[in-house]
Copies of this chain bind each other. A is one copy, B any other.
Amino acid sequence: MEETGKYKKGRQAPEPTLKRLPGYLYYLEQVREDGILNISAPTIGKDLSCDPTQVVKDLAFTGVKGKPRVGYNVYELIHSLEEYMGHNQVNEAFLIGAGNLGSALMAYQQEQALGLRIIAAFDIDKKKIGENIGGVHILEYSKLFSLSGRLNVKIAILTTPNQAAQEVAEDLINCGIKAIWNFTSVNLNLPEGIIVQNTSIGSYAAVLLRRLNDAGNNL
C-alpha cells in the first residue's frame, strides 16, 4: 500500500484533528446503537455541523478506508478511531490533587471515555487520604515516590492548587512521568521531551463571554 498523500495514514495528525476525534467517536457510538451499519462523511458532517471534507480528512488519519456510494463501516470506523486514540491499550495515570476538579475527573473517568485509567490519586490533605472516589483510592502524596518505582506509569493528571504545580511537576518527572495533563494555570517549566497538555477551562469561558459581548447589541 502506497502512502504518499498528505492526509494518508502515517502522517501525524494536526492538533485540531486530534481534538475532533473524541466527538466522532461519541457520535459513532450513538449511530451504532441505532443499528446503522454504514455511514457517509456528508451525513456525519451534517449531524456534527462540520465540513464533510474535513470529516474525510480527519478520519483518514486513523487509516480507515471508506467506499464510494456506501461510506464507512461503522464498526470499522469506531475500531479505527479507538486504536488511533490509544483506547485499546491501557493508559494508566496518576492524579495529583484530589480537590474539586480532581474528584470530578475520578468520578468521571468511567462515564466519559477519556481513554485513560486513573489508578491512584495523591493529596497532602489528611482528611482526603483513604477516601475512594470513582474506584480510585486517595493516597498520601509522599507515597507517590515509592509507588511509581514499582508501577510503570507514564501519565499524570495535575489538579493541584496553582502554587504547588511547578514543584509537583518536577517530582513527577523524577518519578518517571513522561506526560502531564496540566489543569492548573501555571506554565510549567520542565525538561525537553516531557509532554505537557495544558487544559484551561477558563479559556472557554473567555471565548463564550467575549462572543456574547460582541453579539451584545442585537440581543
Contacts and interface: CB of A to CB of B under 8 A. Distances in A.
A84 B210 contact: yes
Copies of this chain per assembly? 2
Contact of A213 (B48, B86, B219): B86
Contact of A185 (B26, B86, B101): B26
A115 interface: yes
Interface of A: 12-13, 15, 18-23, 26-27, 47-49, 84-86, 91, 100-101, 103-105, 107-108, 111-116, 154-155, 161-162, 178-179, 181, 185, 187, 193, 195, 197, 199-215, 218-219
Given A104-B101, A207-B18, A212 B195 contact: yes
Q: Majority SS of interface residues in chain A?
A: helix
A54 B212 CA distance: 24
